[in-house]
Structure 1
Amino acid sequence: MKNSAIIAHPLNPQQSNVADIIQRLEHSATIVTGNQRLARNFRQIFDQAKISSGQRAWPAPDILPWNAWLQRLWQEAIVNGKTSVSGYLLAAHQERHIWQEALVECAPDFSSHAVDQVIARLMDAWQMMWAWCLPFGAESFDYNADSQLFRKVLTGFRARCRENDWLTFAELPEALQENFRCGTLQLPNELVLLGFDELTPQQSSLLQVIVQARCPVQWLRLPGQVARVTKIGCADGRSEARLAACWIRQCLEDHPAASIALVVPELAAQREMVCQALDEVLLPQALQPGNHALERPYNLSLGKPLSHFPPVSMALDMLGLSDSVTEYAQISRLLRSSFIAGWEQEQSARALLDVRLRETGEWGTALQTLLDHASCAGQPYACPLLAHHLTAVLRLIQTRPLSASPGRWAQWFEQYLKVAGWPGGHTLSSGEYQVVQAWWTLVSQFAMLDWVAPAMSWETALDRLTQMAVSTVFQPESRSAPVQVLGLLETNGLQFDYLWIMGLHAGAWPTAPRPNPFIPLPLQRSAGLPHSSAQRELQVAEAVLGRITESAGTIMLSYPQQNGDEVLSASSLIETVPELTGETHAMYRMLAWREIVHQSRRLVTFEVDPAPPLDKINIAGGSRAFKLQAACPFLAFAELRLGARPLGKTQIGLNAMVRGNLLHRVMEMVWGELAAWDALNTAPRAQLDKLVASKAHAAINEIAPSFPQTFSKRLQRLEADRLSRLTQAWLELEKSRPPFHVLAREKETELTLGGVNVRLRIDRIDQLASGDKLLIDYKTGPVKPGQWFGERPDEPQLPLYSLVYADGLAGIAFAQIRIGNLAFKGVAQEEGCVPGVSAFKQLEPTRDCANWAEVVANWRQTLEKLGQDFCAGRAEVAPKQKSITCAHCALKPLCRINDLSWISDADNDAILDDC
């Protein structure tokens, strides 16, 4: 066999062509590529050549990436049983576990939040030490604290590996060299390297051994094309991606059979933005609901963490369910997931069950509570299929071992997901099926931790499995597509008809140095390690850009001119490339799908479109109909007649409404005991404090069963203390009032105004010494009496109360009970009936009223009008003050207030144009 020399210079391989490579494959050559995509591409080229020659069957070509080739060589050596090097080759997840053990041993106080990132850098440093043949001497690593830590962790790591006869992948080329020297590995007829920009010293050493074993080795590169290269500047990254997508679409329309590539240097960070731009331009129907699984006309080279795929994130959520309390957000994802059996039959009921849990306001839900709700037969949120699976899950959780080996936990995880009904909610798409298979492969890899890890708890096992899912990058395979989306380094060996490289601004290309912190920087730079210096990054960038600009006939280079407030410029490496003019730039401008739909709109204006009128309506929400009608007529119609309300919100602790209700209840019970001003002032302080404390605890005991997860014993004690202090402070203020008698507490009554019949509950009615009544409403938020007046009052509640007790009414007042802000705020017939409450003559809105009866009459007239408008069906979108009324309104998507504003602006523009 003819000997072959290895090319020493990493950027000077021999040129070849596709026909030559196909011929070599036909003569049983082994081709080793620099990446998986190139291997797949040449398999397709070889198969297509065979099909074109009329063949119906042929041996599969021997093409595989470098790491896969090393893995196969090691497996062959093990299977042959003739390997000269013993040892168990660690999988990546097994190796990571050993690094973690070594790190924890050397630095037990290390922050758990940073462990994953640190271990990844430790493993990267270990791999580079072998790849670049760096010395392991202690003196080299006394550079700084990071390198010293690496040396300590590395010592523990290597000790574990030697003790157990473990071999890491970084050491594999050296182990294979021994096998080649001993002749225990079969050599290929010819070894061809394709798609490498450079060879590491470790790779060169292995290949030299293969050469010495009399195997021909060739390092080939396809000849470059004479390209038409131009550049273009874009406003920002989003407009750049959009313009690239339009250019690609134009190329496809002009040349449907063309091969096209979009190269994105920062693909990981810009993945979602690029995909959205391509979808909008190349496949706009994919943006419509229900079409997310449509096959795209582009392939993406970069995968995502396996944990980011919905089937896997749901599997992890299911495994994380606790038999005690689980966070509501996790329960909500479960109820809305289409990967739990029975979803197609129960999706509406499960959505209603989600709403039901939101209404409780609790941050967490017990699994048994969820099961109880799902089992409520006759309720709209009943989910019998879900209840069946939850019952099985609860039964299995009760048998969960306290500790088990990773292999045993893998079996338990599989059984758990099976009884939970995962992933059986709907028929899986091709991509989802591949994700599920990748998940089971991951679980099998987790079971392989038996070799390196002891028994562990369920929490530790689930945490380790989750970390593996996060660190595993996966990309479902799809059919070949005319457009390839690649990173810069993945283009090596590939050729296209059209190529667009985006993101070539000075801050991104050449890339900034990113030296590994655990290897001394002088050692990295002297060995020329990747990312070790700006000079090396410049050399690599020049070489890669030079190579890639020869891989297509037509090449566009682009760069964003701005990123937020940062002004960007083109990379210095493309300064000499001719730039397109603005006119040429406009050639690639095309309307997006949403813009086409928008331009084809037909507006129909409804001058008057009232809702169907009502003869009479009962409102259970007290004054809410009048409050909403005053704020915005459409809001009252949508909420009270259509039943459109925002979903409930969960939070840690009690929400403001519950805490306000607790205060109301305490006040009700306290004044039920005191009844009058005399009793308040004559009661000893100790007795009063005891009374308040007992009523606070009683109110809490009443409401606590409704919040079993939130209202813990400790929180009950804290809330009781808060209520007691707040109530005691308020009673001190009440002592400063003139004598009064509490006539009624939480008084229920009804009132009809303008056809609206409302049921009211008045917090308190005091009878003053004059015999007149003062109506009081407790508030824990900020209040202003000015909110009662005008044609559209913000707070019509107390004016409504005044109409029930118009005769003998002394005044109305808010009791503002807030820590640090205790006060009566209201309006009265005469000055001095309550501290801080002014006579109506002192207030701007009522200064012109002749008497108190006229004030009450004005309220009646205003509220009658609001009630009549509500019953008449007045439901126009007319917020009282848009900036305030709409600020926290959840119904803006329903009323489309922003669309109305846009139409109004467009109409004004049209009028100006006509003028």
Structure 2
Amino acid sequence: MIAAYASVSPDGLSDFNPGSTLILTVNNRHARRILAELSASLSETRRVMAVPDIIPLSGWLAQAADQLSFIPGSELASHTVDAFGSQFLWQRVIADVESDHALLDVAQAARLAAQADHLLDEWRIKVPAELETAEYQRFQVWRAHYRAMLADMDLEDGNLAYERIHGAMHGGLLSLPFTTLVLAGFNEVSPRFSSVLAAMQAQGIEVLALDSRQQKAGDLRRVAAPDPDHEWRMAARWAADNLRRHPAGRYAIVAARLEADVVLAHRSLRAALGADAEGRPVPYNIAVARPLAEWPLVRAALAWLRIVAQFAQKKYCAPADLGQALLAGGCAGDAREAPGRAAIDAFWRRQATTRVSLADFRRLLERHAPSLGAAWKLCEDAWPDQTGTADIDAWTRRFRLWLQALGFPGQAGLDSHAYQVVEAFDSLVDRLARQAPAVGPSGFSGAVAMLSRLARETPFQPQRDPGARLDVLGFLESEGGRWDGVWVLGLTDDVLPAVPKPNPFIPLAALRQANAPRATPDRELHWAQTMYDALLACAPEVLLSHALHEGESELRPSPFIAGLDIAEMAAQAVEQGACALEYVLDDHGPALQAGGKTRGGIGVIDTQARNPLWAFVKYRLGASQMVDYADISDQNARGIFLHRAIELVWRMVPDQQGLRDLQADGRLAGLLEQALRQAADECLQDYGAALRSLETARALRVLEEWLALEAARAPFRVRDVEQSYQWSHGPLELNLRLDRIDELHDGRLAVIDYKAGDSDIDPRPDWMRQRPVGLQLPFYAAVLAGEDQAVAALVLARLHARGIQVKGLVDGDYGLDGLSAVNEWPAFAGYTWDRLMSEWRHTIESLAREYAAGVARNESLRPDDIRFCDVLPFLRLTEEYRHAD
């Protein structure tokens, strides 16, 4: 209750004349709550009730502004901009004024400036010259430019509109259609609002305050939980037990950090509440609004508009943007053609496509998603001559037309939440159209970006489920509510009271003098005390909980509850329904059947050595992480280009003597240019001319340095380039592809594998371990090579602009520096070459038998083994298993 005004009880509201009474609430939530309470008072004897107008303060200010616009001499601007338009103009002003000074975050500066502008007027803050700070002086420059821009554009923001209404009230320009005003939910009244109320009283209007004071809880308990996760589970179990015991009761969980804990809240509640007698999940309402842009249908609409913008302006589009739209759906053939749209997206990822032409996109749609293809043609037919610069309201009309042509929001029936989302998005488009006076003309991409930004800044929450008897709310949402029982969690000393957050553009001394909100510790303490008292009056039973630890941090209880005894029995009671978990360790799958093809080549054996479960999931179950979209600067594209160029060179040069002849005759440069040109045509087709020229020049330097080493080594003949081999072991059949195999001067072979990255290629850590990895070269040397031509050198060659590096093992001297003899490696001391080959052969065949037998243990020798694992969720690394002693 506000002490300055006489109070009225909630029951007394029905006695007022509804035609001359206005109930003014602090927000929409309070307005709905009062209306619900009045409706609940209906009975068999009183089935109908005339209800006075119940509107929030913001709604009344909008009504007053509309009324004022019809009064001569009110001097209203032609247009009023909302908070989004105001932020847009603040950003424009700050960017213009600070064009010679770099600001880290113009958007954040604009938000704080708009807040400071409102605070100065709402709390009538005066800043004497001796208190002015450099930040305040700079803000005043921005404010002057902002007000001048509004005047030049004949615009008015919400703050200026409020000031105009304030002046009209004191000037007697506004005649109000009510004689009684009831304030509801106002714990305090700002100086500007107080002045407006005083003007109303001067006109003879009676101002009252709704007395929302309720009796404090009779059953008040404090609960301490080990951590926030346990605290949520305890609260959820308490709610589930009460709902079962009292089917007609209404309960609430109030969380200090609900937005941050919303995922944990859903998980805990679903586990605790379970299903009803008909197998449906027990409903509950959780009062957390997400940005509208995060809701699936809105995300789909924005994605489609982005690709329309790209195609209409450039005639091509990035696969990542196309994939986002295709996977989001919300279009013609939504559910029916979802597999086809996913296949298109997967095709671009596998092919490392960096951009898609409009013609290619049409062809893929015709093949995989014909319904969408027909809708896309309608959309294309609608955009000619409609993609140039236009006012934002014209863009919104075009957006609706194109989305309608694409079949948005899809052909399936919408459930309640989806229907509400579509309605909210439609309202959002209308709101964007109303920004036209502030925004002015915009290009296509700019208009789509503005709609996306507005969707990100607009919170949305579906309407409350009326059948739910459990509400999950934040502090502000709970104020004024009434339930049969409430659990308040998260009451630590950094939450209640919270840390002050004074506006940096207004001097702290001025904020303190005006007693502005969020400015000082005393102000936060007062707000916290008011909130705490309101929480204690929400229900006859109130449980107040806090966590003792969060991670490695020790937490302390809020000072408001620190004096209460901890109810140990309460914490135990909510856990009594827990049951012991049973663990079954199953690390074997079915054995591999003969005749089945296994994809992956040597990767199967290599992955089995790193983690058997990874190998089973990837190659037996066929599950793996979807590869990311290709990037034009992707290092893999550079490696593919370099590999292809070297392959072309050695397909034209048969041996070392041929290489030396080309060098001697001066023909090597022409051959390299030819090979690089062909490789670039095949691998760098998406590169621009400048980038392609740079990559070709870089590759030329690398090839020249590598071929100089090749010419200086012992004589050799190139036997195979990019050759495929097949190997069978029991039911397992694998294909292997090697970069190059040379026949050396003594008739033995050298196996060469190129690496294009800049990381160290030393194979010792991989090849000397008990279960060796990086097995491509050892696999060939130990398993595939025939007895008539044994392998004598395993060569890893790093080809990079920073330098050529050669590593590996060799049995002899073939003129390549960097190769080591077997006995030079610690793990192979005393080994002969043949013994090492024999052990590797035994290890590889053992790994092959493991894989074929279905061994799928979830174990790795070292953390780096799964560094690049593409099935990590299957490994469930965060779970702890109880093992037998």
3-state SS of 1:722 partner = helix
What's the CA shift string for 1:553-576, capped at 9, x where partnerless? 222222233333332212223333
Aligned to 1:671: 650
Structure-1 separation of matches of 2:231 and 2:5: 34
Structure-2 separation of matches of 1:566 and 1:638: 38
Asked if 1:118 corresponds to 2:109, the answer is: yes
Structure-1 separation of matches of 2:876 and 2:191: 66
Structure-1 separation of matches of 2:793 and 2:365: 46
Using a 3 Å threshold, how does the CA distance of structure 1 residues 372 and 814 change in structure 2: closer, same or farther?
A: farther
Asked if 1:703 corresponds to 2:689, the answer is: no
Structure-2 separation of matches of 1:161 and 1:810: 81
Q: For 1:647, which of 612, 626, 636 is the aligned residue?
A: 626
Report the count of equivalent residues: 867
Aligned to 1:355: 346
3-state SS of 2:773 partner = coil
Aligned to 1:379: none
3-state SS of 1:192 partner = strand
Aligned to 1:435: 421
Aligned to 2:508: 521
3-state SS of 1:557 partner = strand
Asked if 1:209 corresponds to 2:199, the answer is: yes
Structure-2 separation of matches of 1:341 and 1:804: 56
TM-aligned CA deviation for residue 515 of structure 1: 1.6
1:443-454 mapped onto 2 (5 Å cutoff): 443-454=429-440
- Tell me if structure 2 keeps the 8 A contact 1:879–1:886: no
- Opposite residue 39 of structure 2, the aligned amino acid is D
Aligned to 1:151: 140
Using a 3 Å threshold, how does the CA distance of structure 1 residues 87 and 891 change in structure 2: closer, same or farther?
A: closer
Asked if 1:246 corresponds to 2:237, the answer is: yes
What's the CA shift string for 1:808-843, capped at 9, x where partnerless? 436132242243564544445544565444555666
- Tell me if structure 2 keeps the 8 A contact 1:230–1:555: yes
What's the CA shift string for 1:13-67, capped at 9, x where partnerless? 5554332123236575221112222211111121222344342x44343211122
3-state SS of 2:54 partner = strand
Aligned to 2:182: 192
- Tell me if structure 1 keeps the 8 A contact 2:721–2:739: yes
1:205-244 mapped onto 2 (5 Å cutoff): 205-228=195-218, 229-244=220-235
- Which stretch shows the higher mean deviation, 435-444 or 813-822? 813-822
TM-aligned CA deviation for residue 424 of structure 1: 1.4
Q: For 2:490, which of 496, 500, 503 is the aligned residue?
A: 503
Structure-1 separation of matches of 2:598 and 2:227: 53
Aligned to 2:712: 736
Structure-2 separation of matches of 1:851 and 1:134: 87
Structure-1 separation of matches of 2:530 and 2:731: 82
Asked if 1:881 corresponds to 2:864, the answer is: no
Aligned to 2:672: 692
- Tell me if structure 1 keeps the 8 A contact 2:610–2:773: yes
Aligned to 1:33: 25
- Tell me if structure 2 keeps the 8 A contact 1:282–1:297: no
Aligned to 1:415: 401
1:466-865 mapped onto 2 (5 Å cutoff): 466-480=452-466, 481-576=468-563, 578-589=564-575, 599=581, 603=584, 610-611=590-591, 613-614=593-594, 616=595, 622-624=601-603, 626-627=605-606, 639-640=618-619, 642-653=621-632, 655=634, 658-681=637-660, 683-684=663-664, 687-705=667-685, 708=686, 711-748=687-724, 754=730, 760-780=736-756, 782=761, 784=763, 794-799=773-778, 801-802=780-781, 803-809=784-790, 811-819=792-800, 822-832=804-814, 834-838=816-820, 852=834
Give the superposed CA RMSD.
3.7
What's the CA shift string for 1:227-247, capped at 9, x where partnerless? 233323333333333322223
- Which stretch shows the higher mean deviation, 415-424 or 107-116? 107-116
- Opposite residue 477 of structure 1, the aligned amino acid is Q
3-state SS of 1:320 partner = helix
Percent identity between matched residues is: 24
TM-aligned CA deviation for residue 538 of structure 1: 1.8
Asked if 1:390 corresponds to 2:376, the answer is: yes
1:290-309 mapped onto 2 (5 Å cutoff): 296-300=283-287, 302-309=288-295
Using a 3 Å threshold, how does the CA distance of structure 1 residues 152 and 829 change in structure 2: closer, same or farther?
A: closer
3-state SS of 1:766 partner = strand
What's the CA shift string for 1:765-786, capped at 9, x where partnerless? 4333334443434344625378
> Structure 2: where are the runs of 5+ without partners?
none
Structure-2 separation of matches of 1:757 and 1:127: 73
Aligned to 1:4: none
TM-aligned CA deviation for residue 531 of structure 1: 1.5
TM-score scaled by structure 2?
Answer: 0.87
Structure-1 separation of matches of 2:765 and 2:186: 77
Using a 3 Å threshold, how does the CA distance of structure 1 residues 718 and 51 change in structure 2: closer, same or farther?
A: farther
Structure-2 separation of matches of 1:884 and 1:429: 46
Using a 3 Å threshold, how does the CA distance of structure 1 residues 765 and 185 change in structure 2: closer, same or farther?
A: same
Structure-2 separation of matches of 1:884 and 1:263: 43
1:3-402 mapped onto 2 (5 Å cutoff): 10=2, 14-24=6-16, 28-55=20-47, 57-78=48-69, 84=74, 86-88=76-78, 90-92=80-82, 93-108=84-99, 114-135=105-126, 140=129, 143-163=132-152, 165-177=154-166, 178=168, 182=172, 184-228=174-218, 229-282=220-273, 296-300=283-287, 302-321=288-307, 322-323=310-311, 324=314, 325-362=316-353, 364-376=355-367, 382-402=368-388
- Opposite residue 816 of structure 1, the aligned amino acid is A
- Tell me if structure 1 keeps the 8 A contact 2:225–2:571: no
- Opposite residue 472 of structure 2, the aligned amino acid is V
- Opposite residue 330 of structure 2, the aligned amino acid is F
3-state SS of 2:543 partner = strand
Using a 3 Å threshold, how does the CA distance of structure 1 residues 754 and 626 change in structure 2: closer, same or farther?
A: farther
Structure-1 separation of matches of 2:457 and 2:771: 58
Using a 3 Å threshold, how does the CA distance of structure 1 residues 755 and 500 change in structure 2: closer, same or farther?
A: closer
- Tell me if structure 2 keeps the 8 A contact 1:70–1:173: yes
Structure-1 separation of matches of 2:488 and 2:575: 18
TM-aligned CA deviation for residue 77 of structure 1: 4.5
3-state SS of 1:375 partner = helix
- Tell me if structure 1 keeps the 8 A contact 2:750–2:795: no
Structure-1 separation of matches of 2:510 and 2:871: 62
- Tell me if structure 2 keeps the 8 A contact 1:326–1:364: yes
3-state SS of 1:72 partner = helix
3-state SS of 2:540 partner = strand
Structure-2 separation of matches of 1:673 and 1:426: 59
3-state SS of 2:215 partner = coil
- Tell me if structure 2 keeps the 8 A contact 1:262–1:500: yes
What's the CA shift string for 1:569-609, capped at 9, x where partnerless? 12223333x22232332112255xxx76x83x685979x76
Structure-2 separation of matches of 1:52 and 1:535: 50
Using a 3 Å threshold, how does the CA distance of structure 1 residues 360 and 223 change in structure 2: closer, same or farther?
A: same
Using a 3 Å threshold, how does the CA distance of structure 1 residues 519 and 435 change in structure 2: closer, same or farther?
A: same
- Opposite residue 506 of structure 1, the aligned amino acid is D
Structure-1 separation of matches of 2:153 and 2:736: 78
Using a 3 Å threshold, how does the CA distance of structure 1 residues 786 and 570 change in structure 2: closer, same or farther?
A: closer
3-state SS of 1:552 partner = coil
- Opposite residue 797 of structure 2, the aligned amino acid is Q
Aligned to 1:465: 451
